[in-house]
Amino acid sequence: MAGPVPVASSLSDIYTVDAIGTQAKRWNNLLARFQTIYGQPAEFVARSPGRVNIIGEHIDYSLYPVLPMAITADSLLAVSTNVASTNTKEGHYKIKIANVQDAKFPAHEFDIPYEAVDIDATVHEWTNYFKSGLKGALELLRKKHGNDFEPKSMQILMDGTVPAGGGLSSSAAFVSSSALAVMVANGEKTVDKTELTELAIVSERAVGVNSGGMDQSASVFSERGSALFVSFTPSLKARPVSFPKTNPELTFLIAQSFVTADKFVTGPVHYNLRVVECSLAAAYLNAVLNPPGTQLPSDASPLSVSLHGFHETYFALQEHSSGATKSKSTESQLEELVALTAEKLDKRDGYTREEIAAVLNISVDELNKKFTSRFPVRAEKFKLRQRALHVFSEALRVLKFMSLLEQQPTNTDDTSEYNAQLGDLLNQTQDSCRDVYECSCKEIDELCSIARKAGSYGSRLTGAGWGGCSVHLVPAGKVKAVREAWEREYYSKLDLSEEQKEAAVVVSKPGSGSAVYLVDDKPGPVVVDDRDRGSEVY
């Protein structure tokens, strides 16, 4: 799956057939608006999609594998580098950036010095996401071309259809497409998918969120028709995974809760706090279970020490001291870690900074410096037991889900039992997110229980949680019943606009990842393959 980001020659290279009509209109509108705003055509469009996570929630930043898939909704950046330099400050380049939703996201113009991109993460400003992609891309370009590299000026028009704060990863879609746009604008003929993903992961942290790597990987690497198994160690890898043919056929439904969860604003008590708790749990378990003086490896997780790092160190030392020649399976290691966590981290109401610092044999100041200074968190106590239990058990569920997919169902005439096993793992994830990791909310819990009653095999939150979206594994024949139940018991009670009603539930097919579309050599409307053109002329 590694290799360059594809250059699409037609929209049929990017979208599934059912989406082409709507997307062609949207793309043509974007290119026409670009011409109106900047008085010249765009040279290319950089595209990265949102994602839905099937299983593996809140474990990417502990470096355990996850199973997301890309969706149709995406971030598009139409770009031209033909910018008049007349009023650009000396030693600077110009970025003009506008959004098709200009009332909500006002246009900006920045003169940026060659040497540094300044991002004020304390201000919640939509263009920060572009700037963070810009910053990361320039770091990579400097590594390739030397420190004297002079970035090109760009004028940009953005169109994003991934709902912000909806758990479908609008931020990763925006940051990845921004970084891709900057690379192409600065003359890179090919952009390596792994390099783009890695830089997008690090870039997003510049906006104030201690992000894991799942979203950026799903956004960049996904292939149409497949989910994506993403692993983070020893290095970032992604591979497509297909679902076996089942009877009844399986459908993924994504349902919005319309509770907006803003990771940036709530980070200190939600997302960033969980990242800190997981790293503290890793350090604590290392201190109580490994020989004195054992150092955890510094890794690619946001705070450089992770539960996965502890996991590997613990079993490597165990094997070494027992002289074992054969490693235990990862499943049995995770089971053992669940049991050890329950025993060693026995304080259910959490641990104070003083208590943790004493076990780590460091001062509270040192603890704060190492774990809570990068991104501020607000907490009296850290729930190390619950967080580690969720992470180890969720990592185990991902492996069980994968092994079910690889096994294939035995009775192909009726796979109800097999479908139910897949669904059951999703339901267990939801229970753990709600009760142990505390990242659900009552609206998501309600959507899940309504869906299950109406026939869903498995229902859970997807993404960071605390609102946003839910994902449901539903037999094709029950999709209508589930949708009607939500309408009756949930959506009809909210005050929703027509647009919101339409976007509330989507049947999701796995979509493709990042792509570049060069407008240069195809003046006029965007190209759609003949076979998909139908009667409409685009």
Rounded Cα distance between 383 and 319, Å, is 30
Instruction: Identify which of residues 42 and 180 has a Cβ nearer to ligand NG1 in the complex.
Output: 180
Quick one: which of 136, 163, 167, 350 contacts ligand NG1 (CB under 6 A)?
167
Judged by DSSP in three states, 435 sits in helix
Residue holding tokens 């509770």? 259
Q: Which residue is nearest to ligand NG1 (CB)?
A: 463
Instruction: Identify which of residues 172 and 273 has a Cβ nearer to ligand NG1 in the complex.
Output: 172
Stretch that binds ligand NG1, among 51-59, 98-106, 368-376, 426-434 (CB under 6 A): 51-59
Catalytic one of 215, 299, 445, 532: 215
Rounded Cα distance between 95 and 156, Å, is 8
Residue holding tokens 């010249």? 40
Quick one: which of 57, 223, 443, 532 contacts ligand NG1 (CB under 6 A)?
57
HSE-CB of 103 using CA atoms within 13 angstroms: 0
- Does 172 interact with ligand NG1 (rule: CB under 6 A)? yes
- Does 437 interact with ligand NG1 (rule: CB under 6 A)? no
Report whether 61 contacts 278 (CB < 8 A). yes
**Angle value at C-alpha 284, between 281 and 285, nearest 5 degrees:** 85
Q: How many residues bind ligand NG1 (CB under 6 A)?
A: 18
Rounded Cα distance between 445 and 429, Å, is 12
CB of residue 323 to ligand NG1, shortest distance in Å: 38
Beta-ladder partners of 256: 469
Quick one: which of 10, 169, 393, 508 contacts ligand NG1 (CB under 6 A)?
169
Rounded Cα distance between 179 and 106, Å, is 20
- Does 74 interact with ligand NG1 (rule: CB under 6 A)? no
Stretch that binds ligand NG1, among 56-64, 296-304, 324-332, 385-393 (CB under 6 A): 56-64
Instruction: Identify which of residues 127 and 186 has a Cβ nearer to ligand NG1 in the complex.
Output: 127
Rounded Cα distance between 347 and 80, Å, is 57
Residue 142 burial (C-beta neighbours within 10 Å; 0-12, 13-18, 19+): middle
x/- track of binding to ligand NG1 for residues 199-238 (CB under 6 A): -----x----x-xx-xx-----------------------
CB of residue 2 to ligand NG1, shortest distance in Å: 20
Q: Tell me which residues in 293-352 interact with ligand NG1 (CB under 6 A).
A: none
Rounded Cα distance between 88 and 53, Å, is 43
Instruction: Identify which of residues 57 and 74 has a Cβ nearer to ligand NG1 in the complex.
Output: 57
Instruction: Identify which of residues 74 and 215 has a Cβ nearer to ligand NG1 in the complex.
Output: 215
Structure tokens at 480: 């209508």
Instruction: Identify which of residues 214 and 300 has a Cβ nearer to ligand NG1 in the complex.
Output: 214
Instruction: Identify which of residues 13 and 262 has a Cβ nearer to ligand NG1 in the complex.
Output: 262
Instruction: Identify which of residues 209 and 255 has a Cβ nearer to ligand NG1 in the complex.
Output: 209
- Does 467 interact with ligand NG1 (rule: CB under 6 A)? no
Integer angstrom CA distances of residue 238 from 197, 246, 279: 11, 24, 24
CB of residue 59 to ligand NG1, shortest distance in Å: 7
CB of residue 427 to ligand NG1, shortest distance in Å: 17
Secondary structure (DSSP) of 318-350: HHHHHT-SSPPPHHHHHHHHHHHHHHH---TT-
- Does 461 interact with ligand NG1 (rule: CB under 6 A)? no
- Does 58 interact with ligand NG1 (rule: CB under 6 A)? yes
Stretch that binds ligand NG1, among 57-65, 105-113, 300-308, 335-343 (CB under 6 A): 57-65
Rounded Cα distance between 337 and 314, Å, is 10
Quick one: which of 33, 47, 135, 263 contacts ligand NG1 (CB under 6 A)?
263
- Does 61 interact with ligand NG1 (rule: CB under 6 A)? yes
- Does 60 interact with ligand NG1 (rule: CB under 6 A)? yes
CB of residue 96 to ligand NG1, shortest distance in Å: 26
Amino acid in the structure at residue 458: G
Q: How far apart are the first and last CA of the chain?
A: 32
φ and ψ of 474, to 5 deg? -125, 135
- Does 132 interact with ligand NG1 (rule: CB under 6 A)? no
Sign of the Cα torsion 423, 428, 433, 437 reads negative
Rounded Cα distance between 485 and 90, Å, is 61
Judged by DSSP in three states, 242 sits in coil
- Does 163 interact with ligand NG1 (rule: CB under 6 A)? no
* Residue 495 annotated in active site: no
- Does 463 interact with ligand NG1 (rule: CB under 6 A)? yes
Beta-ladder partners of 505: 255
φ and ψ of 123, to 5 deg? -105, 130
DSSP secondary-structure letter at 474? E
Amino acid in the structure at residue 49: P
Stretch that binds ligand NG1, among 52-60, 129-137, 153-161, 423-431 (CB under 6 A): 52-60
Q: Which residues are catalytic?
A: 215
| Contact positions vs ligand NG1 (CB under 6 A) | 53, 57-58, 60-61, 167, 169, 171-172, 204, 209, 211-212, 214-215, 263, 463-464
